Structure 1
Amino acid sequence: MGQLCGRCMQLLCDFMAFVQRMSSSLVHGIKEFLTLIIKCSCLKQSSSKTRQLYKPILQPHERVTVQEFLQHIETGFEMSPLGKDPLEALRTLAFSENPGLQQSAALYYLHMSQHMNIPLPVEHLEPFYALLRSADLEVQQMSSLSLVNFLLEGNVDKELVVQMGLLEPILDLLESEDPTVQCNSCACIMTLAVSESNREAIGAARGVTPLLSLANSYDPRVQQNAVGAILNLTQSEKIQQVLCKEGALPVLALLLDSPDSEVQYYSCVALSNVAANVQHHEAMLRPSNRFLLHTLISLLSSSVDKDTLACAELLQSLGMLLSAHKTDPVIVGHTACIIKNLSLSQNRQRILESPCVEALLQTMLSTDTQEDSLHYVTSCLAELAKQEGATLCMVQWMDEPLTKCLVRLAGQLEHTEPSFHAASIIQHMIGHGKTMLLLKQRMGEIQAYLRSFLTHQELRFQQLGISTFCRLREDPEFSLAFRKSQMAKLLEQVRRQTEETQELLRVAICHEEI
């Protein structure tokens, strides 16, 4: 994807806000920090012979550089942060063996990465090599973060970063034990890997193995960025070979079960990229018991947002699968659940244009359909029927056998969920001429299940029964039939019970308030 995860982006934004708040005191802080280092007694020459045996930590030329750098920070940062003088000072500080001076250089780069809106000159990348190689953890953290900032903002050329030799120290930081450094270095690799030449360079430098290791990190930031980097690497067919050889397929398959939706998405798209190459199919299906296939089905059946997955080809395949295996309760149940979860997003129009709706309706006619799979089928259709466009699509497929099946299911209250869903589908289709003609042929059965709904213990059944009754009563033939069957008396009985319940609730609430 070439982007940081949501959490990392928020952390960066928070850090940026912090730096901006502190900008007024940044120059003073750096000056004070370097001044303290210069004045420290450990750097002063001693007349003691023993003292003279030790080489000063701060070299003479570094003293001069620090003083010049302090003067530049104090007077010229806002005017020329990228000038020749500060660059020479940065080189001196970055390549120093003094961690304090390296921290100053890293902090300077971090501040620039938060405020610059122009490209970073090529020569300013050179000090990064020393900073990324630093043995000081704070230097590693700040320098890797500033490089991430420059890359994300497009202030540096991604291919140039690799050409300048910075890929090697970045990959070395993947081996760090510090989660922040790991997170930043993974983000760098993820961003660099949007370039084809960079992907090949990462593969040649053996960057795949540490990324696969970090893909199992317990730190969610590290894991997201590592899997994101792997995703970008899978866009190269050459690197796909390396990934498969290094064992990426089982790692990505296991990550499909991750509780993190970002990790699920990255790993799923990465596997999709690999699957586009036929030569990898055997390796992808090699794990025992069709693990990858079962995991993908489970993921599709989950509630994770899949706008991006509901392409026309997928829906066409689901419809064909349902039609071909409508007597297999396992396939029927999984497929219906997948279609339902896809319908919860902005995919309904695509579903209506696919063979899925017809396949779902025809599946209900199978005598071998079990209650569990029937529950998923009717639940999916009931969810789709809430949209007028989907209702019109269903109406065109309705015929006498399907109408009979729906009415029969609505009357089988021992199968609670399929009964409720079937009645809900009927309720949404009332008012369409074709449906009304078909429903009138089953008028007696409809009145029977309505009586059961009106006296049902669950409120949702009562409400659905009343709503269906009101809509059907608008038709003269149904209205006459209801009068003859004394349905009005049953409704009156329900009304009185409701009023009694409301009165009891009112008394109970008043008593509680007292």
Structure 2
Amino acid sequence: MGLCARCARLLDDFKTFITAKTASFVQKVKHVADRISECCCWKNTAVSQQKPCALLRRHGEKREPRPRGTSHLSTVRNRGPIVFLETCCTLLQSEDMEVQRTVSLSMLSFLTDSKVKEEHIIEIGVLEPLVDLLQSDDNTVQCNSSACIALLASSDSNRGAIVSSDAVLPLLVLARAFDPKVQQNAVRALLNLTKSVSTMDVLCKEGVIPVLALLLQSTDSEVQFYSCSALSNIAAVPEHHPKMLRIGDRFLLKSLVLLMGSSVLKNSTQASQCLRSFTLNGEAQQQLVGLDWVCPLLTLLRAPELTSPEAGLMLLSRLSAHPPKREALVNQGVMSVLGDLLLTHLSNRTVVTHCAIILNYLWDVVERRQVALEAECLSGLLLALEFYWNEGDAVLSVLFCLYSLACFDSLRSCLVNKMTASHVGRLVSLSSESENPDLSFAAGSVISKLDMNDRLLKAHHRAIVGYLMRFLRNQEVRFQQLAIASMCNLRKGGGLDGMAWGLDLERELNRVQQQTEHTSQLLQMLQQDTFATDKP
């Protein structure tokens, strides 16, 4: 039993409607599908088993029964999208340019708004005509078809089909188009294709890297962002680094550094993300050190609207490991930048960790050049010291940073003047971390460098004595040495004057002294025996 005359007329009207380029095309499709599904002729046949494009040509053909287990309700719900897609699949191959423009635009609207999965759309067969339209001479058709492919490429399961359909070269051509919308859509499609390693490899073999590198210097900020994001995806795979760095005279790295100074925040952030991936490559890192990255990177980190500074800070921590740019960083105000970031992002473990790492590299420059120590830096570090982290790596980096700072006389006095009794209590508490010896040792290292007075120690006399006892009783010599160094510095600052040591502490000191003297005697005997053995 075929469709009734009424439904056949509706489908004929629908076909005419498509060629008339009505703006509400997609809505009309759904309306027609709903009207047909309400008819009694629909209820007696499973039209879903017949190709809708064929229904436009043959209205009287018999239909196969609906598959067992498929409810009438689900068939009705899926009918509209299927009718639309398969009709578009036929009309996209029309020779009429106006039809191509209208149908490709309708397809784009459908893909933007539809809840149909992209992989199901590919299965219907719309990809091949869309790829053909990429090579159209009409900008509108190019723009619509490339936008459709960009949307389809957002699904991981579709990317393999897209690169297998010979879409890559036409997209590379359109990525250099004069029309900005065409160019944006083509580069966005390339970006989505780089989100899978397998399709990324195909793109690199087809020559996508130099094209994307050139587009970093585009005057269009969207093109810059899409190309930089695609390059970031590629740079995240170290195997592609040699090919990326092969572009002459460090062109790619220079372009990324230039883009990092962009006034468009998402572009500068993405550029820093891409450069950070390159710092994992020794050759790239050496090339970067010689470029003028200090000003653009600090400009990015100073941006008040920057809410996620992690990428920029991680890049800075890796580049500042190389001494040549450290003085330039200090001269251009990196200390205040890091202080502000510490105070603003105190709960962000990544930010605190990398701020501490960078500061650790810079203390010697600050001390040597007698640069005033930024109050924000000290305040941020001390606040981070008191912050209770779930993981120990952030506070460990802060402790290393404070210890490094305390090794310089002029900087140590600034630190002691800024500290409060609660900071001392936190250090003593961390020194008792029996489950994390590294954390305990780092906290003890900071204490051992500080010549604190009784103003800071008064509330913690018993805790300080406990700290000294624990370290003296530790079987590791490094802990014992820290305890002795702590006592020397505390005495120098006057912190031990009002402290009741107790007999136990004195006994431990005597034991360590005897142990040390015994060890010295054994070493002396060993040296004498060795010298005697070596005589002819």
| TM-score using structure 2 length | 0.53
Q: 2:435 corresponds to which residue?
A: none
User: Equivalent residues in 2 for 1:94-133 (5 A)?
Assistant: 94-113=92-111, 114-118=113-117, 119=119, 120-122=121-123, 123-133=125-135
Q: 1:34 corresponds to which residue?
A: 19
Cα separation, 1, equivalents of 2:80 and 2:364: 74
Cα separation, 1, equivalents of 2:357 and 2:311: 20
Q: 1:82 corresponds to which residue?
A: 82
Q: After TM superposition, give the deviation of residue 335 of structure 1 in Å.
A: 5.5
Q: After TM superposition, give the deviation of residue 161 of structure 1 in Å.
A: 0.5
Cα separation, 2, equivalents of 1:28 and 1:255: 53
Q: After TM superposition, give the deviation of residue 81 of structure 1 in Å.
A: 3.1
User: Equivalent residues in 2 for 1:19-418 (5 A)?
Assistant: 31-32=16-17, 34-35=19-20, 68=56, 79-82=79-82, 87=86, 89-113=87-111, 114-118=113-117, 119=119, 120-122=121-123, 123-154=125-156, 156-246=157-247, 247-285=251-289, 290-292=291-293, 295-296=296-297, 299=300, 304=306, 305-308=308-311, 331=330, 336-337=335-336, 339-343=338-342, 344-346=344-346, 356=356, 368-370=368-370, 373-375=371-373, 377-386=374-383, 389=386, 405-406=413-414
Secondary structure of the equivalent of 1:177? Answer: coil
Q: Give CA deviations for 1:123-148 in whole Å, capped at 9, x if unaligned.
A: 22111112222222222222222222
Cα separation, 1, equivalents of 2:365 and 2:181: 58
Cα separation, 2, equivalents of 1:200 and 1:95: 31
Gaps of 5+ in 1: 1-26, 38-64, 409-421, 442-514
Contact kept? 2:232, 2:270, Cα under 8 Å? yes
Cα separation, 2, equivalents of 1:436 and 1:346: 29
Q: Give CA deviations for 1:216-262 in whole Å, capped at 9, x if unaligned.
A: 22222221111111212223445433322333121112112112222
Contact kept? 1:307, 1:345, Cα under 8 Å? no
Secondary structure of the equivalent of 1:81? Answer: helix
Contact kept? 2:169, 2:206, Cα under 8 Å? yes
Contact kept? 2:330, 2:365, Cα under 8 Å? no
Structure 2 CA distance for partners of 1:346 and 1:144, relative to 1, 3 Å: farther
Structure 2 CA distance for partners of 1:28 and 1:211, relative to 1, 3 Å: farther
Cα separation, 1, equivalents of 2:214 and 2:194: 18
Contact kept? 1:125, 1:161, Cα under 8 Å? yes
Q: Give CA deviations for 1:248-306 in whole Å, capped at 9, x if unaligned.
A: 121112112112222222222222323322344454456xxx42466556655666432
Secondary structure of the equivalent of 2:339? Answer: helix
Structure 2 CA distance for partners of 1:317 and 1:115, relative to 1, 3 Å: closer
Question: Which letter does structure 2 place at the counterpart of 1:216?
Answer: Q
Contact kept? 1:183, 1:221, Cα under 8 Å? yes
Q: After TM superposition, give the deviation of residue 405 of structure 1 in Å.
A: 3.5
Q: Which moved more, 1:125-134 or 1:210-219?
A: 210-219
Q: After TM superposition, give the deviation of residue 106 of structure 1 in Å.
A: 0.7
Cα separation, 2, equivalents of 1:353 and 1:148: 38
Q: After TM superposition, give the deviation of residue 168 of structure 1 in Å.
A: 1.9
- Alignment length (residue pairs): 357
Question: Which letter does structure 2 place at the counterpart of 1:168?
Answer: L
Contact kept? 1:211, 1:227, Cα under 8 Å? yes
Q: 1:437 corresponds to which residue?
A: 454
Cα separation, 2, equivalents of 1:400 and 1:234: 40
Cα separation, 1, equivalents of 2:288 and 2:318: 23
Identity of aligned residues (%): 16
Q: After TM superposition, give the deviation of residue 389 of structure 1 in Å.
A: 0.6
Q: Give CA deviations for 1:72-118 in whole Å, capped at 9, x if unaligned.
A: xxxx99615336x963x434432333211112321332233120332
Gaps of 5+ in 2: 1-11, 23-52, 60-75, 389-394, 426-450, 459-536
Q: After TM superposition, give the deviation of residue 167 of structure 1 in Å.
A: 1.4
Secondary structure of the equivalent of 1:374? Answer: coil
Structure 2 CA distance for partners of 1:346 and 1:188, relative to 1, 3 Å: farther
Question: Which letter does structure 2 place at the counterpart of 1:117?
Answer: V
Question: Which letter does structure 2 place at the counterpart of 1:306?
Answer: P
Question: Which letter does structure 1 place at the counterpart of 2:229?
Answer: G
| TM-score using structure 1 length | 0.55
Secondary structure of the equivalent of 2:372? Answer: helix
Q: After TM superposition, give the deviation of residue 363 of structure 1 in Å.
A: 5.0
Secondary structure of the equivalent of 2:116? Answer: coil
Cα separation, 2, equivalents of 1:151 and 1:91: 18
Question: Which letter does structure 2 place at the counterpart of 1:175?
Answer: R
Cα separation, 1, equivalents of 2:151 and 2:90: 23
Contact kept? 1:175, 1:182, Cα under 8 Å? yes
Cα separation, 2, equivalents of 1:365 and 1:281: 22
Cα separation, 2, equivalents of 1:358 and 1:164: 48
Cα separation, 2, equivalents of 1:175 and 1:256: 22
Contact kept? 2:93, 2:100, Cα under 8 Å? yes
Q: Give CA deviations for 1:160-180 in whole Å, capped at 9, x if unaligned.
A: 110011112222211222222
